[in-house]
Structure 1
Amino acid sequence: MSESRTQMAPERAIERYLIDKKPEWAESTHYNNASSLGIFRDFCDEMDLDNICDIDGFHISDFKQHRREEDGVNEMTLYNDLCSLRSFLKWCNSMGLIDSWVVENMVLNDPDEKVRSEKIDPETANQILEYLDDFEYATARHALFAVLWDTGMRLGNARSLDVGDYYPEEQYIEVSHDPDEGTPQKNKSPAEREVNLHDWVCGILDDYLRMNHIEVEDDYGRNPLFASKHGRMALSNLRTHIRRLTRPCHYTGECPHDREQSECVAVQEYNKAAQCPGSHKPHAIRRGAITHWLNEGHRKELISDRMNVSIPTLDKHYDARTESEKRDLRREMFDME
């Protein structure tokens, strides 16, 4: 390392990187990178690494080990963290903070581990919906989970919805790409579509709007479907709702991980629900819903349009069916003929 190289604390470097990249990223991308790099920042604090210019391969190796062994994350989460870290370190190199070899020699875990990973199965989804019907009927969380499971849409799609995007008589919702009003879609204009809803989802939405919806305008004068008293609900709040809802102890009353609920941080602290091994990310609902629609025998072309996912991407990242499930479906379709 050159003696004249600028000194910069990891926290400051991360802050500047996120500010630099924010105009280029969707809100969800910014959130994911900020979350992953926040974990890396805390790791640097623990390691007393107070100058990003001093980072080397051993620090990166130790970070990987820390995430696997101490935090207990799965390979998909680790892969995402390392991708965020690598992009950040590339930026650091472009700013003259680190040498290029640090990035070039960085080894990611196997990206194939990302494929066909976490999903919610229909049995779990039904358990959650039964719990919601009994104990949280027509709440915002009930409406959110029902929409996500029935449509398989991304969380950002759901957040972007206004009350006026729901058509109760025709039983569909309309997804729009509005980047100038704080609700961009990941796939931009191609994500715009009209999505049919089942009767049971419309019943929940109707009662939610009648009984529990908060009438409030966002910063652009729009009336969000999923709102807090401050306006459109933030993605982080929506994620927390799903994380808390999908803890097994929440919807079954029992812990499959042999934890005492009175001592479990995922139960006792509102924002720590993700530390429950049984809780799920919102994307697990999307992956589970797509797999369920495939198992029901719906054509991939239909699912591709409904869920806003290309068929190659669907095959690679969302078709979580086992070979036995595919065989059973072929037999069922053959018998129908």
Structure 2
Amino acid sequence: MSDDVDEIVDKLADRLDESADLEPTDPQEAFDLWMQQLDRAESTLQSYEYRIKPFLEFCDENITTLDQLTSRKIKEFEAERRASGLQRQTINNQFGTLKQFLSYCEDIDAISEEVLLSLDVPDLTKEDRVNTEKLVAERSQTIIDQMERFQYASREHVLFLLLWRTTARIGTIYALDLEDVYLDDGDRERLRLYLRESGYSADVVDDILEEAQLPFIFPRNRPETGTRLKNGDLGERVINIADWVAETIRDYIDVNRADQTDEHGRKPLLTTRKGNRRLAKSSMRNWIYVYTQPCEFGGDCPHDRDPETCEAREHGHGSKCPSSRSPHKLRTGSITWHRDQGWPISDLSDKANAGEELIKSVYDQPEKLVRGAGRRHHLDKLDDNSGGSE
């Protein structure tokens, strides 16, 4: 019995010693320090701010400095968030980011290891990870057909085509300049100049150009002038496009593109006459929400709303339509469509600039009947050279 008491006393003493070693740190100050040492895309940092905000608000109401944070308070915060009606995937995202932040706080002696370990990040099944509200191929093709008929070679037409046909993130399309688009033989000399400036010898450049298959887009990572790609320099890659897509882009450039140069002296592919003259990502998102609404081209509303009075038809409120889809859901649908059309995951991983496991677990949401039909040709292999028996 005395041994048990001694063990409890020792544990309490250890906790007191650990607490005495902690550095009283303001929660917001710790968060600001953490954000400053992260090397992430701006969009990722913004998502971190959003995910940590509820925790900082909880701290404002319950503690003054992080050394006052206890395992009990962590559990109280967990209970509040779980009771707020959030989806399990949202809880996983928020708690996962919070775990990273708390790990940093432990590193700077702002909290104890016990507090860090007390945060429970829920595990997710594949069903939890996958939100099946992707933009399906049939709807996407209908939108493309309608835009080709009514808004051919418009800025919005090119935006939608590039997102669907390339699987690219919206940040990648935002980063494109005119010089990143190689559409016809007239662009080969520009490619030659780029390769020579990159340090390749004349012989190597000739070999590359001989093998190069136009048309394609070539997004570049330019963080110093405001367009960092999601994966930095690793996000740079050649993305092939179909000839008819290239023709549409060429017509847009020749006829409908506003001739603009941004504040860094760059010529964006998608331009606007306002702001910094590069079409903003927020504007891109708004347009995608609008064009994925069933009523945009005169279709019936599946939600029994009047398009004349529907709030989702007001400027900037396109996401309020239950049938509208975000650019991320368009990307999910595009990746699934590529897989349904037989694209190997390894090639698609390079094109989409996403890991193979991520594509398998999150982005690739197969249309089972389509994928099954695509495998049917393998049946012949079972009977080849089989001698009539299994």
The aligned residue for residue 71 of structure 1 is none
Letter in 1 for 2:178: V
Give a deviation string over 1:7-42, Cα, whole Å, max 9, x none.
Answer: 85x7x5597257525x5111221232234445x38x
> In the aligned structure 2, how far is the partner of 1:262 from the partner of 1:97?
55
Establish whether residue 224 from structure 1 lines up as the match of residue 258 from structure 2: no
> In the aligned structure 2, how far is the partner of 1:137 from the partner of 1:152?
21
Letter in 1 for 2:75: G
Give a deviation string over 1:250-303, Cα, whole Å, max 9, x none.
Answer: 355444344565665443351x43344333232222222122122112333432
> In the aligned structure 2, how far is the partner of 1:104 from the partner of 1:251?
53
Q: 1:282 to 1:179 in 2, by over 3 A?
A: same
Q: 1:63 to 1:253 in 2, by over 3 A?
A: farther
Letter in 1 for 2:79: S
Is 86-95 or 298-307 further displaced after alignment?
86-95
The aligned residue for residue 174 of structure 1 is 218
The aligned residue for residue 201 of structure 1 is 245
Q: Is the 8 A contact 1:178 1:185 kept in 2?
A: yes
1:1-337 alignment to 2 at 5 Å?
Answer: 12=28, 16=32, 19-21=35-37, 24-37=39-52, 40=54, 44=57, 49=61, 56-68=74-86, 74-91=87-104, 101-112=114-125, 113-115=128-130, 117-169=132-184, 170-228=214-272, 229=274, 230-251=276-297, 253-259=299-305, 265-268=311-314, 270=316, 272-332=317-377, 334=379
Is 255-264 or 272-281 further displaced after alignment?
255-264
Q: Is the 8 A contact 2:31 2:101 kept in 1?
A: no
Letter in 2 for 1:66: S
Letter in 2 for 1:250: E
TM-score (norm 2): 0.69
TM-score (norm 1): 0.78
Q: Is the 8 A contact 1:76 1:117 kept in 2?
A: no
Q: 1:221 to 1:56 in 2, by over 3 A?
A: same
Is 155-164 or 222-231 further displaced after alignment?
222-231
> In the aligned structure 2, how far is the partner of 1:213 from the partner of 1:84?
40
Q: Is the 8 A contact 1:116 1:319 kept in 2?
A: no
C-alpha deviation, 1:60, in angstroms: 3.1
Q: Please, which runs of 5 or more residues in structure 2 have no aligned partner?
A: 1-15, 185-213, 385-390
> In the aligned structure 2, how far is the partner of 1:252 from the partner of 1:51?
55
Q: 1:326 to 1:162 in 2, by over 3 A?
A: same
**Percent of paired sites with the same residue:** 28
Q: Is the 8 A contact 1:93 1:99 kept in 2?
A: yes
Task: Please give the secondary structure, in 2, of the residue aligned with 1:232.
Answer: coil
Task: Please give the secondary structure, in 1, of the residue aligned with 2:239.
Answer: strand
Q: Is the 8 A contact 1:116 1:320 kept in 2?
A: no
C-alpha deviation, 1:123, in angstroms: 0.6
> In the aligned structure 2, how far is the partner of 1:219 from the partner of 1:34?
27
Q: Is the 8 A contact 2:166 2:241 kept in 1?
A: yes
> In the aligned structure 2, how far is the partner of 1:27 from the partner of 1:234?
14
The structure that has the greater radius of gyration is 2
Give a deviation string over 1:55-99, Cα, whole Å, max 9, x none.
Answer: 64233332233252xxxxx54444333333443444455566666
Q: Is the 8 A contact 1:151 1:306 kept in 2?
A: yes
Is 143-152 or 260-269 further displaced after alignment?
260-269
Aligned positions, number: 325
Task: Please give the secondary structure, in 1, of the residue aligned with 2:217.
Answer: strand
C-alpha deviation, 1:125, in angstroms: 0.6
